[in-house]
Amino acid sequence: MSIHIGAKDGEIANTVLVCGDPLRAEHIANTYLEEAICYSSVRNMLGFTGNYNGKRISVQGTGMGQPSLAIYLHELIHEYGAKRIIRVGTCGALNQDIELGDIIVAQGASTDSNMNKLIFSGLDFAPLPDYGLMSSAIKEAERQHIKVIVGNVFSTDYFYFKDDPERWKIWINHGILCAEMESSLLFTMAAAEGVRACSILTVSDNIILGKACTTEERESSFNDMMKIALNIC
């Protein structure tokens, strides 16, 4: 057991799906995994291990934002030996042509967070996913005829700052597809630890158009994201 994860040694698989919402982790375990066991409920940040098509997979809630994610990633990697980490998250589109329910595969993650600056003493690092894992996600989507959009995402520390439209201009002008809150540090930590990581995101709202998914749209697009993620595990 680590400080924030209550699993015993060996209870967490080498491949871990991560998402901000612990109840999404529970939903994934209940919907997609066979023989799932809950290995941790510390702080209600639920984690499960089960089987998908004969492969052992874990799914862990990480909370929202990079400081929270960093705690769970550190413990997953250092205390439990996680080797592959796939984020299955939601995001807000920053492009009016991106539709609700579309799926974005992150090719890189820019950020307004200070965490990378702390790590790199104020210099810039380009946080990138593992190329092999990212391209497997893209190929898997093609195989299943699921549309994905691939590009740079923006991991912000400030969810509600989105109400200021001026704020997004510089990022939009540099081709950023969407805002979310974790991928940047996921890629940086994975790079430092020699762990493979990628991020697959469902568009739950469009920040530019002020639109949000209905519950039905959320469910079907979420299912497509899971069909990609689970098949590259």
Ligand X SMILES: O=P(O)(O)O[C@H]1O[C@H](CO)[C@@H](O)[C@H]1O
Ligand Y SMILES: O=c1cc[nH]c(=O)[nH]1
Spatial contact of 232 and 86, defined as CB atoms under 8 Å apart: yes
Least spacing, CB of residue 68 vs ligand Y, in Å: 13
Question: Residues near 186 by Cβ (< 8 Å), separated by ≥ 6?
Answer: 18, 69, 73, 85, 87, 109, 127, 197, 199
Helices 215-231, 131-143: crossing angle, 10 deg rounding:
120
How far is Cα 210 from Cα 165, in angstroms, rounded to an integer? 11
Provide the mask over 75-94, with x wherever binding to ligand X is found by CB under 6 A and - wherever it is not: --------------xx----
Judged by CB under 6 A, the chain residues 204 through 223 that form the site for ligand Y are 204-205, 207
Known active-site residue 205 = yes
92 binds ligand Y (CB under 6 A): yes
Segment contacting ligand Y by CB under 6 A, of 38-46, 87-95, 111-119, 140-148? 87-95
When binding is defined by CB under 6 A, the residue of 1, 42, 64, 138 that contacts ligand X is 64
* Contact map string, positions 141 to 180, toward ligand X, x by CB under 6 A: ------------------x--------------------x
**Residue 172 burial (CB < 10 Å; 0-12/13-18/19+)?**
middle
Catalytic residue among 124, 130, 157, 205: 205
> CA quadruple 195, 199, 20, 114: dihedral positive or negative?
positive
- Is 20 near ligand X (CB under 6 A)? yes
Give the nearest distance from C-beta 35 to ligand Y in angstroms: 31
Which of the residues are catalytic?
205
Positions touching ligand Y (CB under 6 A) are 90-92, 159, 162, 179-181, 204-205, 207
